[in-house]
Amino acid sequence: MQTSYSYMAPEGLLGLMTEDFTRYVDTVIPQTAVKIGKMLTADVTVGLVRNAAKLPATAAEITKPAAMGITPWDQSREGGSDWPIKRPTPVLRRGRIWVTAESAVTRWTHPFIRHASGAGGTELGSFRGDADTATATSCPFCIFLTDAAQGALVLVEISLV
């Protein structure tokens, strides 16, 4: 039986957008299920809607203009940590958001975003502190605002607009 309770809210939650900075959120249609806190890129397959999105598959997709934003947590949505396939999904294009660090990261550095499976991880769209043998690419429009160990939450600022 729990006999003590904390009155302090956690510092951050995966996918939580902070309120201390201007933000711009857009809507995309992911072509696969997407986890919270992952970078999405444009899916330019012929015949898809204008805002079709996917997880990054090449280094070139990490850089503008192909990058579409980071999937946030939505407290109004019931269940699960994945955004379902072909469901309108928000993406943070400008602002600050908590994501999981795939490797140890240092504040005030540009994150590397995974676009292929490698020794350090397999989840595409994940944020890390190094290139992991060329399977992650530096993202010039994002910056880590906090330090974090592998698997911990890290605050990322993104500016695509």
Give the pLDDT confidence of 11-65 residue by residue, as tens digits.
Answer: 788 999 998 889 999 999 999 999 999 999 999 999 999 999 999 999 999 987 8
In 31-105 the beta strands, taken as DSSP E runs, fall at: 34-35, 39-42, 52-54, 67-70, 82-83, 89-100
Select the more confidently predicted residue: 119 or 127: 127
Q: What is the pLDDT of residue 102?
A: 96
128: tokens are 């890390």
Q: What is the pLDDT of residue 124?
A: 96
Q: What is the pLDDT of residue 129?
A: 96
- For residue 9, pLDDT over 70 is answered with no
Q: What is the pLDDT of residue 79?
A: 67
Cβ–Cβ < 8 Å for 97, 23: no
Neighbouring-strand partners of residue 153: 100
Q: What is the pLDDT of residue 75?
A: 80
Give the pLDDT confidence of 65-107 residue by residue, as tens digits.
Answer: 899 999 999 887 776 678 999 999 999 999 999 999 999 999 9
C-alpha 130/C-alpha 92 separation (Å) is 23
- For residue 10, pLDDT over 90 is answered with no
